[in-house]
């Protein structure tokens, strides 16, 4: 085998599809797909958080279409923000007209007469970009809820991901003139059947697919002709070249004689875990929205996504469902709470805010992902650079959300896989 690809998430399987060199993917779990796996009891399908296909890069969208063929359909976003007792169109600054007049004024004045100086951290950036009104009502409480850290301890490398509104849109939305923000995500694609995992299966439908599952990598040793890879389950494997498409902090632990600076960089990387609770209802009450963002800190999930909105095949006929996303700091209360406790709290909260009546719930299930969201603390850029340089020096490529420890979506993962394949082949 020429290339050993460590990790069988979207990054690993798409790299194997793109490269023409012989390769093998080693995947720790019993099924490839990573964060792009789908689950569910008979008749129900849910993903690890709402997973929709969108991109600014037309060639990546073409790749998605090519891989999924007929099993794909177009959707138009119908996201809302739950602000106090009402739904505000998402992004929040595009739905201002439903707020009370004083609140609208507050948002406009904060946006227009913004006293916040050039930012040095994410909290300051939000205030500088949006002003006090929009920040106080939505952006600060929502971001505190999803990131679970003091926003002043987060850096700025990733903020281009946060949609920024033109002034004209904010004014239009305040006046009740229909506007759309974050427009490259407004229309999206989703597999008709099989949940987002259909994308992974599509990438694996080729002659060179070679994925070993249950192959948890535990050690790496350099050899004169390449690398020896130890797995928990079997004999060592040999490859000329390696790509780490799984968490880079684990990969540091597999290597001997790692310099202290590199170990410290890996140990310094920050992440949140994510727990996803499927809530299935015996009626069609959960079909009219794609997702709801919930800044209210007394409600456990920060976001819910209506799975049967994405595809009617994600719930049985006459039923509908949502998935509730709960992030947590590793080791914190809601990271270690039992599945039953998380489910009970999610259902109770959703019943209280009127999203789903407890008596209508016919199915629940939980998925837990220890690697959910990379968090950009103020040392992130430095830690990332130290790790990139170290692995580059070993001739090992890093790829994907966790190989590179970057907050990237499926489109960017696929774009980077394609670029790496071109380099490996060239
Ligand atoms: C809640 C949520 C919502 C999201 N929504 C969207 C969305 O709407 N649109 C979008 O485009 N993207 C979305 N994403 C992002 C998307 O999930 C990721 O960009 C993509 O799945 C990352 O793929 P990956 O292969 O890089 O990483 P992963 O999917 O994390 O794959 C890593 C793989 O490595 C394996 N592994 C770990 N340890 C080992 C080991 N020791 N040996 C071997 N294998 C190992 C894991 O089992 C896993 O399969 C979302 C992510 C989350 C968490």
pTM of the model: 0.97
Which ligand 1 atom is the nearest neighbour of the CA of 400?
Answer: 26
Q: What is the DSSP letter of 69?
A: T
Q: Would you say the C-alpha torsion 334, 339, 340, 344 has a positive or negative sign?
A: positive
Last residue of a domain, one of 144, 177, 210: 177
CA angle 332, 337, 342 (to 5 degrees): 115
- In a domain, residue 327? The reply is no
pLDDT, position 358: 97
| Same-domain pairing of 387 and 255 | yes
| Same-domain pairing of 66 and 20 | yes
Query: How do residues 399-422 score in pLDDT, each as one tens digit?
Result: 999 999 999 999 999 999 999 999
Query: How do residues 157-207 score in pLDDT, each as one tens digit?
Result: 999 889 889 999 999 999 999 999 989 999 999 999 999 999 999 999 999
| Number of compact structural domains in the chain | 2
| Same-domain pairing of 384 and 246 | yes
| Same-domain pairing of 265 and 382 | yes
- Gap from CA of 156 to ligand 1 centroid (Å): 23
pLDDT, position 235: 84
- In a domain, residue 173? The reply is yes
- Of 93, 84, 91, 131, whose CA–CA distance to 109 is shortest? 131
What is the layout of strands, in order, in the sheet containing 217-223?
Answer: 217-223, 226-231, 237-239
Helix 167-175 and helix 101-112, axial crossing angle in degrees, nearest 10? 170
| Same-domain pairing of 173 and 198 | no
Neighbour-count burial for 93-119, b at 16+ CB within 10 Å, e otherwise: bbbbbebeeebbebbbebbeeeebeeb
- In a domain, residue 285? The reply is no
C-alpha to C-alpha distance for 235 and 255, rounded to whole angstroms: 18
Residue 295 has pLDDT above 80, yes or no: yes
Nearest-CA residue for atom 21 of ligand 1: 35
- In a domain, residue 281? The reply is no
Last residue of a domain, one of 132, 147, 177: 177
- Of 236, 233, 200, whose CA–CA distance to 214 is shortest? 233
Range of the domain at 155: 93-177
Average pLDDT value for residue range 344-350: 98
| Same-domain pairing of 97 and 173 | yes
Which ligand 1 atom is the nearest neighbour of the CA of 401?
Answer: 26
Domain harbouring 8, CATH code = 3.50.50.60
Please give the helix or strand (H or E) that residue 325 lies within, else none.
strand 320-328
- In a domain, residue 238? The reply is yes
- Gap from CA of 109 to ligand 1 centroid (Å): 40
- In a domain, residue 280? The reply is no
pLDDT, position 1: 58
Number of Cα atoms under 13 Å in the Cβ half of residue 19: 28
Q: Give ligand 1 pocket residues (Cβ under 6 A).
A: 6-12, 26-29, 34-36, 48-52, 216-217, 245-247, 250, 274, 325, 371-372, 400-402, 408-411, 413
Contact status, residue 38 vs residue 46, Cβ threshold 8 Å: yes
């Amino acid at each position: 085998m020429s290339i050993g690809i460590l990790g069988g998430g979207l990054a690993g399987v798409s790299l194997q599809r793109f490269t023409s060199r012989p390769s093998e993917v080693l995947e720790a779990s019993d099924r490839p797909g990573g964060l792009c796996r789908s689950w569910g009891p008979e008749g129900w399908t849910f993903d690890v958080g709402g997973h929709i296909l969108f991109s600014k890069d037309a060639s990546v969208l073409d790749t998605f279409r090519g891989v999924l063929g007929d099993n794909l359909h177009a959707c138009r976003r119908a996201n809302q923000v739950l602000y106090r007792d009402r739904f505000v169109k998402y992004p929040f600054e595009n739905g201002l007209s439903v707020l009370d007049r004083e609140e609208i004024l507050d948002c406009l004045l904060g946006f227009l007469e913004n006293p916040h100086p050039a930012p040095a951290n994410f909290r300051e950036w939000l205030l500088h970009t949006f002003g006090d009104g929009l920040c106080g009502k939505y952006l600060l409480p929502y971001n505190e809820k999803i990131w679970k850290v003091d926003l002043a301890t987060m850096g700025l490398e990733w903020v281009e991901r946060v949609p920024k509104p033109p002034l004209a849109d904010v004014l239009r939305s305040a006046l009740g003139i229909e506007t759309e923000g974050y427009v490259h995500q407004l229309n999206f694609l989703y597999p008709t059947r099989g949940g987002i995992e259909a994308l992974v299966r599509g990438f694996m439908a080729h002659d060179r697919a070679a994925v070993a599952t249950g192959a948890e990598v535990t050690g790496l040793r350099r050899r004169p002709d390449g690398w020896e890879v130890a797995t928990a389950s079997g004999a060592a494997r040999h490859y000329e070249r390696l790509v780490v498409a799984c968490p880079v902090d684990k990969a540091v632990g597999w290597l001997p004689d790692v310099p202290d600076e590199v170990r410290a960089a890996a140990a310094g990387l920050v992440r949140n875990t994510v727990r996803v609770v499927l809530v299935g209802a015996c009626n069609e009450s959960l079909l009219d929205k794609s997702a709801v963002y919930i800044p209210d800190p007394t409600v456990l999930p920060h976001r819910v996504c209506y799975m049967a909105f994405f595809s009617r095949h994600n719930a049985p006929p006459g039923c509908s469902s949502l998935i509730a996303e709960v992030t947590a700091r590793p080791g914190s209360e809601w990271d270690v709470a039992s599945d039953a406790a998380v489910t009970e709290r999610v259902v109770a909260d959703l019943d209280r805010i009127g999203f789903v009546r407890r008596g209508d719930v016919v199915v629940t299930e939980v998925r837990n992902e220890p690697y959910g969201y990379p968090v950009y603390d103020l040392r992130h850029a430095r830690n990332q650079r130290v790790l990139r340089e170290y692995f580059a020096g070993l001739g090992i490529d890093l790829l994907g959300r966790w190989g590179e420890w970057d907050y990237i979506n499926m489109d960017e993962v696929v774009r980077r896989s394609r670029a790496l394949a071109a380099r490996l082949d060239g």
